[in-house]
Amino acid sequence: MVTINDKVKCCGCSACANICHKNAIRMVQDAEGFMYPKADASLCNNCGLCEKVCPVTNKEAHKTQDLKKAYLIQHRKKDVLAESTSGGAFTAIAEYVISQGGVVFGAAFDSQFKVIHTSAHTSTELAKFRNSKYVQSDLGDTFCQVKSLLSKGTMVCYSGTPCQIQGLRKYLMKDYENLILVDVVCRAVPSPGVWEKYYQYENSKGHIKDIRFRDKKLGYQYSTMAIKTQNGKIRREGIESHPWLRMFFSGMIIRPSCSACRFRDPHRISDITIWDCFNVYQLDKRMNEQLGVTRALVHTEKGQDVLGKICDRIHVHEIAYEDAVKGVKEMRESPAMHPDRRKFFADLNTMTFDCLLQKYYPNTLKVRVKKTARLALNYLGLDVIVKHWLKKRK
Ligand SMILES: Cc1cc2nc3c(=O)[nH]c(=O)nc-3n(C[C@H](O)[C@H](O)[C@H](O)COP(=O)(O)OP(=O)(O)OC[C@H]3O[C@@H](n4cnc5c(N)ncnc54)[C@H](O)[C@@H]3O)c2cc1C
């Protein structure tokens, strides 16, 4: 029976809960707001399936025949590009699947801005998947839905973080010709419980209409988090000053398993891996870097076939595999958890969010100076030049 003694060893993929024929396992939020499996011993018949499908303890080996193909991708439609995190490669793949009568799964907001995995059956519905949501998504029973669709012969595309894709693959227990797996390169996932509290805090200041974790209004190189309220106001700030981005990127609210992620590897079990490309100027000068570009690795023949089918929807340039993965830290190193994490989570349950932010992420003079400097450089059109220069020096 599944028992979590060490939280670093559970990525919350829910494969165990989905596989249990006795419905003995539920995913339950812990005090830090992350989902973990909780088994009811009275319903368990000790079949051992839950342990067998765990991707952390039984990691699926990556494909031995990895094609090692790498591409830079940009969707041809400007509106798709504007809404996507990078180059909109995911939308192009998903549009192809829909055109084949298939079903696409990805992460979207529900009506309360909770991040959940859900399905799309039409191209219009795909908009909800665009843009990375920096919160761990609730997978619900999507693995069961996928299995049911696959066994009926429906084409399915499932996208998610590497641990979610591993979880699905373990749950399915075999390869399906009609399944396309797309994973993102993932730094870490923040707590859904903290997100709920943060959302309530922001919503109390002004009713929230829309949230973008990666807004491109100030350009791709200076992507900001944007929160739009019902009265039309938009709060748009970068990593140097936005409270959510500061909490995330400092390692304060990341899932413990992300700090020892077992799936940080350029070789994947997915068909296609997608991620950001901030150094497109070094890889291919033909692409407009301010609109955003997706870097993609194609691991399988199936992935290569899909890429061939979406060529009319995208601008695509092949690059050397070694260049694509060179220096990509998120593929190799796990971020550390913040040293004040314990204190932060203890305070989370006793303090108002406002006080919590003032204590751990105050809007100091240094923060305000950094923000003003970035905005000024962006306004003068110099931020990209400065970023390139800093990167070169590094
Ligand atoms: C939590 C997270 C962390 C990431 N960290 C990095 C990083 O450190 N470095 C890097 O280069 N890229 C990272 N990415 C990937 C990157 O942000 C883009 O997803 C990628 O560039 C593809 O962009 P796109 O324009 O092609 O797709 P988009 O149109 O942006 O599509 C987004 C895709 O991501 C999926 N997705 C969105 N939110 C979630 C979520 N919470 N959980 C699971 N799947 C989700 C959607 O279902 C969709 O498939 C991360 C993504 C996420 C979700």
Calculate mean pLDDT across residues 47-70.
89
Calculate mean pLDDT across residues 309-337.
96
Per-residue pLDDT tens over the stretch 330-365: 999 999 999 999 999 999 999 999 999 999 999 999
pLDDT of amino acid 91: 98
Mutate to test the pocket of ligand 1, among 132, 136, 146 (most ligand atoms within 8 A of CB): 132
Beta bridge partners of 73: 294, 316
Closest residue by CA, ligand 1 atom 22: 275
pLDDT of amino acid 394: 72
Does 118 sit in the ligand 1 pocket, CB within 6 Å?
no
Does 273 sit in the ligand 1 pocket, CB within 6 Å?
no
Mutate to test the pocket of ligand 1, among 117, 133, 184, 271 (most ligand atoms within 8 A of CB): 184
Beta bridge partners of 324: none
pLDDT of amino acid 18: 96
Task: Give dist(CA 336, CA 260) in Å, integer.
Answer: 8
Per-residue pLDDT tens over the stretch 124-137: 999 999 999 999 99
Does 221 sit in the ligand 1 pocket, CB within 6 Å?
no
Model confidence at 153, pLDDT cuts 50, 70, 90, reads: very high
Q: Which residues contact 314 (CB under 8 A, 6 or more apart)?
A: 73, 74, 75, 76, 87, 88, 89, 92
Q: Is the pLDDT of residue 286 over 90?
A: no
Closest ligand 1 atom to residue 83 Cα is 29
CA of 159 to the centre of ligand 1 (A): 9
- How many residues make up the chain in this entry? 394
Which segment of 158-162, 185-189, 218-222 scores lowest on mean pLDDT? Answer: 218-222
Torsion angle in degrees (nearest 10) through CA of 273, 239, 278, 315: 70
pLDDT of amino acid 290: 86
Does 241 sit in the ligand 1 pocket, CB within 6 Å?
no
HSE-up of residue 313 (Cα within 13 Å, Cβ side): 21
Does 89 sit in the ligand 1 pocket, CB within 6 Å?
yes
Q: What CATH code would you report for 7-52?
A: 3.30.70
Identity (one letter) of the amino acid at 105? F
Does 193 sit in the ligand 1 pocket, CB within 6 Å?
no
CA of 21 to the centre of ligand 1 (A): 32
Q: Is the pLDDT of residue 285 over 90?
A: no
Model confidence at 288, pLDDT cuts 50, 70, 90, reads: confident
Closest residue by CA, ligand 1 atom 50: 186
Closest residue by CA, ligand 1 atom 53: 132
Q: What share of the chain is helix, strand, coil (3-state, %, to 5)?
A: 35, 20, 45
Calculate mean pLDDT across residues 268-282.
94
Mutate to test the pocket of ligand 1, among 80, 83, 85, 298 (most ligand atoms within 8 A of CB): 85
Per-residue pLDDT tens over the stretch 87-129: 999 999 999 999 999 999 999 999 999 999 999 999 999 999 9
Closest residue by CA, ligand 1 atom 11: 276
Whether the CB-CB separation of 234 and 303 falls below 8 Å is answered with no
pLDDT of amino acid 389: 84
Closest residue by CA, ligand 1 atom 6: 186
Mapping DSSP to helix (H, G, I), strand (E, B) and coil, where does residue 108 land? strand
CA of 206 to the centre of ligand 1 (A): 27
CA of 41 to the centre of ligand 1 (A): 37
pLDDT of amino acid 40: 95
Where is 47: in which H helix or E strand? Answer: none
CA of 129 to the centre of ligand 1 (A): 9
CA of 362 to the centre of ligand 1 (A): 28
Where is 291: in which H helix or E strand? Answer: none
Calculate mean pLDDT across residues 300-313.
97
Does 275 sit in the ligand 1 pocket, CB within 6 Å?
yes
**Got the DSSP string for 52-102?**
HT-TTTSPPPPPTT---EEEEEEES-HHHHHHSSSS-HHHHHHHHHHHTT-
pLDDT of amino acid 227: 97
Closest residue by CA, ligand 1 atom 24: 88
**Got the DSSP string for 114-181?**
-EEEEEE-STGGGGGG-S--SSPPB-TTHHHHHHHHHHTT--EEEEE-HHHHHHHHHHH-S--TTEEE
Closest ligand 1 atom to residue 292 Cα is 25
Task: Give dist(CA 393, CA 14) in Å, integer.
Answer: 43
Model confidence at 70, pLDDT cuts 50, 70, 90, reads: very high
Angle at 152 between CA 311 and CA 272, to 5 degrees: 30
Per-residue pLDDT tens over the stretch 209-234: 999 999 999 999 888 999 999 999 99
Per-residue exposure over 349-365, b if at least 16 CB sit within 10 Å of its own CB, e if not: eeeebeebbeebbeeee
pLDDT of amino acid 217: 93
pLDDT of amino acid 390: 83
Q: Is the pLDDT of residue 63 over 80?
A: no
CA of 248 to the centre of ligand 1 (A): 14
Q: Which residues contact 382 (CB under 8 A, 6 or more apart)?
A: none
Could you tell me the two tokens for 137?
């998504």
* pTM, rounded to two decimals: 0.96
Domains of the chain, by residue range, sit at 7-52, 63-370
Calculate mean pLDDT across residues 179-185.
98
Closest residue by CA, ligand 1 atom 43: 160
